[in-house]
A = this chain, B = another copy of it.
Amino acid sequence: KQIRKQQKGTWKVQASTMAKNTHNPIRKIVDGMKLTPNPEKAMIALSIGDPTVFKNLPPAVELEEALIETVKGGHHNGYAPSVGYESSRAAVASALTLPEAPLEAKDVILTSGCSGAIDLCISVLANPGQNLLIPRPGFSLYRTLADSLGIECKYYNLLPEQNWEADLKQMESQIDTETAAIVVNNPSNPCGSLFTKEHIKDICDVAFRHKVPIIADEIYAFQVFEGSVYHSFASQTTEVPILSTGGLAKKFVVPGFRLGWITIHDRNGAFEEEVRPGLISLSQRILGPNTIVQGALEKILTKVPQIYFDKIMAHLQANAEVCYKHLSAVPGLNPIKPSGAMYMMIGIDIEHFPGITDDMAFAEMMVTEQSVFCLPGKCFQYPNYFRVVLSVPEEQMVTACQRIKDFCKDHYKGPSENNSTPVK
């Protein structure tokens, strides 16, 4: 470990190793891009995973009412226990409990967003020098937090040709004696994919064989398209201890509220002696999430009607279908059909775009020429793909698809130079 020495001459205060090792790769990549939109076309940002930015998905009135009531009530201004109010933890437990994966208030820890939940889960399970298995492509925060804590990341591959299921053999080959946890994310950011029951069981089997606990990031739980069914990891195993993370951010379209949770699915006491008390200890570092949101939580979880969620999912699904239909007809692009969350990944046949070296250049040029910004796959450790956010208003989705099509038409060169109308 590098030890900082006070420099006695000019006074430059050095930052800690932890600070230096904490990076937001998306920020870094995006800040390094030349993003100058075409002045003749209004910018469409399909890049931001914040469902509130387009103002087309307002929060439920019941949620607003619950918050206002809590503010007016005046009973939720003081410190809550660092793991959350008992009643708020109970509300999460009863919203998520299942006969096959029962939850009580004591199994819930409220956190500062799902990010805070993931931070606690990684912090409690892994020591510096140990490793985590994380998905590729995957949400960048896992790596950010692990790097920050000096924990190594090993990647397991998600397979686009199998609806982004994990490559189980390759996953298993990554596990070693220092593997502290397998992180799964279902439904997935950036893939919009959803694991089947069977695939979840298969992953749990891998974890079981190696006695590695699972951190299941289920922030998009229940956000699936019509015809698909969401299964939690905890519902598919009676053997593997699981820390599941979730929160209000995406389903209730209020990411700014910073209300997340961990649900502890212990199995045969594997988490009882150390992990459960460890999570409680770690929660005391910053004392839990905002108490107004905590006070409103039971109402938020019980009073927002199903129709609110159905409408949002119908909107996301409609956009997914529009986007998939348009882009799968575009030579050089290979969209992978999503089943949930709010994203879609689109493969680029980069060798057929001469002069465009990679997904970064592709995304940059699409901004320059068409004023459409999508995150390059590199942001998710997955080159030559780009991610589209599906929460935009439908008109913008259509326009964006048209522009992406035009962009590809302008740059695509088919396998044979003579082939003027290339067929995929």
- B-binding residues in A (CB < 8 A): 1-8, 11-20, 22-24, 27, 50-53, 58-59, 64, 67-68, 71-72, 74, 76-80, 82, 112-113, 115-116, 119, 123-130, 144-145, 148-149, 177-180, 210-213, 241, 253-258, 267-271, 273-275, 277-279, 281-282, 284-294
Q: How many copies of this chain sit in the oligomeric assembly?
A: 2
Contact B6 A258 (CB under 8 A): no
Instruction: List, in ascending order, chain B residues with CB within 8 A of A281's CB.
Output: 19-20, 22-24
C-alpha spacing A338/B413, complex, angstroms: 79
The interface residues of chain B lying within 8 Å CB-to-CB of A257 are 77, 290-292
In the assembled complex, which residues on chain B have CB atoms less than 8 Å from the CB atom of A274? 12-15, 19-20
Q: How far is the CB of A243 from chain B (nearest CB, A)?
A: 10
Indicate whether A148 sits within 8 Å of B16 (C-beta atoms), given known contacts A1-B127, A79-B50: no
A258 touches B112 (CB 8 A): yes
- Given A3-B130, A23-B281, A24-B284: A16 in contact with B77 (beta carbons within 8 A): no
**A16 CB contacts on chain B under 8 angstroms:** 123-127, 180, 278
Bound complex: CA of A278 vs CA of B126, how far in Å? 23
A contact patch SS: loop
Residues in chain B near residue A179, CB distance under 8 A: 6
Q: How far is the CA of A112 from the CA of B289 in the complex (A)?
A: 8
Report A57 CB to chain B, min CB distance, Å. Answer: 10
Q: Is the CB of B292 within 8 A of A211?
A: no
Contact B278 A15 (CB under 8 A): yes
**A177, B76: Cα distance in complex, Å:** 45
Q: A1-B129, A284-B24 are in contact. Are A78 and B64 (CB under 8 A)?
A: no
Task: Please tell me which one of the listed residues B58, B80, B289 contacts residue A74 in the complex, with CB atoms under 8 A apart.
Answer: B58
28 residue pairs of the A-B complex, CB under 8 angstroms, read: A4-B127, A6-B177, A6-B211, A11-B267, A12-B270, A13-B125, A15-B274, A15-B275, A16-B126, A17-B127, A19-B123, A19-B278, A22-B282, A23-B281, A24-B284, A50-B79, A52-B77, A52-B78, A64-B71, A68-B71, A77-B256, A78-B256, A80-B256, A144-B284, A256-B292, A258-B289, A258-B290, A290-B293
Contact A4 B275 (CB under 8 A): no
- With contacts A12-B270, A241-B11 taken as known, whether A113 is within 8 angstroms of B287 at the C-beta atoms is yes
Flag if B212 contacts A6 (CB, 8 Å).
yes
In the complex, chain B residues whose CB is within 8 Å of the CB of A282 = 18-19, 22, 148
Is the pair B18, A123 in contact by a Cβ cutoff of 8 Å? yes
